[in-house]
Amino acid sequence: MVVLSSEDRMKRTACFIAIVSLIVLVATGCKPAASSAKNEVVVYCAQDHVYAEPILAEFTRQTGIRVRSVYDSEAVKTVGLANRLIAERSHPQCDVFWGNEELRTRQLAAMEVFRPTNGWAAMGYRSRRIVINTNLLDMSRVPRSLLELTNAEWRGRVVLAYPLFGSTATHFLALRQHWGPEKWEAWCRALVANRPLIVDGNSVSAKMVARGEAWIGLTDSDDILVEKRRAAPLSVLPLTAESLLLPNTVGVVRGAPHPDTAQKLFEFLQTRAALAPLVEAGALEGVDVPPEIAAAGTLQPDWSRILADIETATARMREIFLR
């Protein structure tokens, strides 16, 4: 989840379009198809605009299918679009949902928002990470567990996004299952008591650590990479049993207004040609999870159990992190 200035966005998008076009042309050799007034597809997209739009533009260039895209805000990433899809179930307006984490996609699938057969798929991965400012904190002193973030020495020095939305919410819900509700709630309350900086979005968390406004951040790998490419003094802590891998997802809406073009976009977004530019840009860490990452023993949520208890857990988070 990246926040860029208008100038940065234009420069970055121009460069990204060039990368997308080159990679896709080499990998597919496809030619554009003829377009028509009805030759369109509507996508609700939780992937960042700066990354997604060039890929969708390349899809249009190849197929002639016009893409009408709707994006969410940084503060309520994924949740806003998921709620919109739920509200539109009886009169679908969207054809394809492009998610940037797994939980909300599974929630939509459980609510039968997607078509019953081959309704959604996961592709690529990024991760939830702890990041530190190396000008302020030596690696010998870093917390080795999220549980340590409640220690007095980190009082007022930790930053994270508001945990009711996006990948932060997904991570917190996975931790609740991992630790158990009582231990998780005690940790959440101790974390709040330690006065963390709670901000609107993971990119803000990464920026604050980069600027030295916080010593430690809990954020996403793509947001960290943006700051590291700007030469920020950041170091990422290794993956642990408390870390979470985050795939992108794509789903076709049940009763989609444009089912044929939806299927084409559904297939396109799963190709290596479409995913490679996301890896090149840092929006994803990879297309396939390598053995060394798989061996790290990251969180393996039982999503059905999380979904069964999501309302209770979300209510507890809303109460604890009231602002």
- Each domain of the chain, given as residue ranges in start order, spans 6-125+246-294, 128-243+296-320
pLDDT for the residue 46: 93
Same fold, 6-125+246-294 and 128-243+296-320: yes
Q: What is the pLDDT of residue 32?
A: 40
Q: What's the pTM value of the predicted model, to 2 decimals?
A: 0.85
Residue 125, helix vs strand vs coil: strand
Give the per-residue pLDDT at 296: 83
Query: Could you tell me if 172 and 7 are in contact, meaning their C-beta atoms sit under 8 angstroms apart?
Result: no
| Residues 40, 52, 97, 23, CA torsion sign | positive
What CA–CA distance (Å, rounded) separates 96 from 249? 10
What's the confidence (pLDDT) of residue 31? 40
Length of the chain in terms of residues written: 323
Q: Give 10-residue mean pLDDT values along the chain (323 residues).
A: 44 48 45 56 95 97 97 74 95 97 95 97 97 96 96 98 94 98 98 97 97 98 96 96 97 97 98 96 94 89 96 97 86
Q: Classify domain 6-125+246-294 at the CATH superfamily level.
A: Periplasmic binding protein-like II (3.40.190.10)
- Alpha carbon of residue 184 to chain centroid: 22
CATH number given to 128-243+296-320: 3.40.190.10
Residue 64 pLDDT: 97
